[in-house]
Structure 1
Amino acid sequence: MSIERIESTQRMSRIVKHNGTVYLCGQTAGEAQWDIKEQTQRCLDKVDDLLAKAGSSRNEILSVTIYIRDMKDFAAMNEVWDAWVADCEKPARACVEARMARPEILVELSVTAAYA
């Protein structure tokens, strides 16, 4: 069994690859001046970058869990999400309201994808 860990720190790995599956650490973009749309876009940009490093892409995403600080932002977050997945295969997805690690974080994405 081979497990590859990429961009590891003392706490976590940003990417873990195992048995054709890529697991990304939670992606956030919490700057106090950014609204939900900006944070969502920046998270998705990070996901694209990490998937590319792992030899995958958004078309290979299997599942995404979206943690959102306040469901009042659900529609605005979905506008950005819908544009991002418009031209690709749609993953399984869940979205839950959650308390974040820092108050400026409005959204966090947890992504699992396939790779060849």
Structure 2
Amino acid sequence: MTRPNKGKDMIERLETGTRMSKIVKHGGVAYLCGQVGDGATVAEQTRDCLARVDALLEKAGSSRDRILQAIIWLSDMADFEEMNTVWDAWVPEGHAPARACGEAKLARPDLRVEIIVTAAC
């Protein structure tokens, strides 16, 4: 039996492709797919990545001060401080989300940071 997709059970998918949606909204929460950025350095990639997060949050009807959780993957934990310098300047004061950061092999060798965000709408 299928359930209707309306009311509080409604799931909205934005920028949906075969493999994934860039945004999935449900119950007043927006779930963003992992974002990566362009650039040669971790700082450049982090800035670009966060600009992409900003754009998706706006499209979802949210903003960086409504982020609930962030998961950050670095290709090398040695880049933790460089990423944090950019992150700390980007997060609005008093609105730091729950956050985790770990090391992982990313999809391409040139990628050094990936950020996954969940935010209230």
Please give the range of the TM-score, normalised by the shorter of the 2 chains: over 0.9
SS in structure 2 opposite 1:87? coil
d(CA) in 2 for partners of 1:41 and 1:7? 22
Partner Cα distance (1:56, 1:88) in 2: 17
Cα distance in structure 2, aligned partners of 1:109 and 1:93:
10
Structure 2: distance between partners of 1:78 and 1:53: 25
**1:60-92 deviations in whole A, cap 9, x for unaligned?**
000000000001111000000000014351100
Supply the distance in 1 between the matched residues of 2:64 and 2:91 (Cα, whole angstroms): 8
Match runs of 1:65-80 below 5 Å? 65-80=71-86
Q: How does 1:8-23 map to 2 (within 5 A)?
A: 8-23=16-31
Identity %: 56
* Change beyond 3 A, Cα 1:88–1:58: farther
Q: 1:58 touches 1:88 (CA, 8 Å); kept in 2? A: no
Higher relative contact order (CA 8 A, sep 6+): 1
* Map of 1:28 onto structure 2: 36
Unaligned runs of 5+ in 2: 1-8
| Structure with max Cα Rg | 2
RMSD (CA atoms): 1.0
Within 1, Cα distance between the matches of 2:89 and 2:74? 18
C-alpha contact (below 8 Å) 2:14/2:21 kept by paired residues? yes
Aligned 8 A contact 2:65 2:92 in 1: no
